[in-house]
Amino acid sequence: MTATRIDGKAFAAGLREKVAAHVARLKSENDLTPGLAVVLVGNDPASEVYVGSKNRQTLEAGMNSYEHRLPEETPEAELLALIDQLNADPAVHGILVQLPLPKHIEEPKVLAAIDPAKDVDGFHISNVGLLSTGQKAMVPCTPLGCLLMLKDHLGDLSGLNAVVIGRSNIVGKPMAQLLLGANATVTIAHSRTKNLAEVARGADILVAAVGRPEMVTGDWIKPGATVIDVGINRIPAPERGEGKTRLVGDVDYASAAEVAGAITPVPGGVGPMTIACLLANTVTAACRSAGLPEPEGLTA
């Protein structure tokens, strides 16, 4: 048996269509255009590509995109002043500061300066606290994308055993909170977990978010389990030529696909969902700011 391939690229395209439909309705019925501001400090090549993609997809969805590109040497105070300005701008409903920031800028201080209602990355401590106590929050984009795909594939998650390998603030912890909110029974595992493979084998839902290339192999997986691979790792690919690399996940896809019931590939799985969920979060933030009902199908 070969696992069903969960096509994140196709799912993300469908989510972006939903976002565009909601945006069109907000414009026509409420004269409201959601706006996303993205701030990039410096010229990290990967960040440049990512910010460009966010800008393009924001405009394609019919939203307003506000890009702020600052030099590498920008003082922290200047960045904080820009965030204050964006917090006060009623046309901006979502603010995203692209990470990583240059070393002279304190990331926690910058993230804390963003208005929690406009924190479409879901990293502000207020949103972290709201999510962990089961209240209405802005949810980090990658875990939100994972949950939407799981619900689409499995339907009701109640009572299923879920194991999240990884405890980062960006993916592992919020993923666990979302699964708890969906009434799954959740275990958070990590590098110090004893008998990690055995713990993983008990999972109906296995989410791998550790940043270790192909660590999770087929013998870690319960037959028929649904596997969500959050990892994006670049490894050498000498078969493609000298100096060439390829992308792999935290799961060894070939062996896992022989055991799992369903699995996300890398690339083309979780990755495309991140920007789609960023757009969804911006629409949700716009609706909340205007006191309008939250759009269906865009939130956890």
Catalytic site residues? Answer: 54, 98, 121
For 97-132, b/e burial (b = at least 16 CB within 10 A) is: bbeebeeebeeeebbbbbbbbbbbbbbbeebbebbe
Radius of gyration of the chain (CA): 19
Beta-strand (E) ranges in 51-175? 64-70, 94-97, 161-165
Q: Peptide bond preceding 223: is omega within 30 degrees of 0, i.e. cis?
A: no
How many other β-carbons are positioned within 10 Å of the β-carbon of residue 8? 26
CA distance 70 to 79: 8
Sign of CA dihedral 122, 54, 267, 4: positive
Reading the block at residue 25, the tokens are 């309705």
CA distance 132 to 126: 10
CA 187 and chain centroid, separation: 20
- In degrees and rounded to multiples of 5, residue 185 shows phi and psi of -95, 120
Comparing CA positions, the residue from 1, 2, 43, 36 lying closest to residue 19 is 36
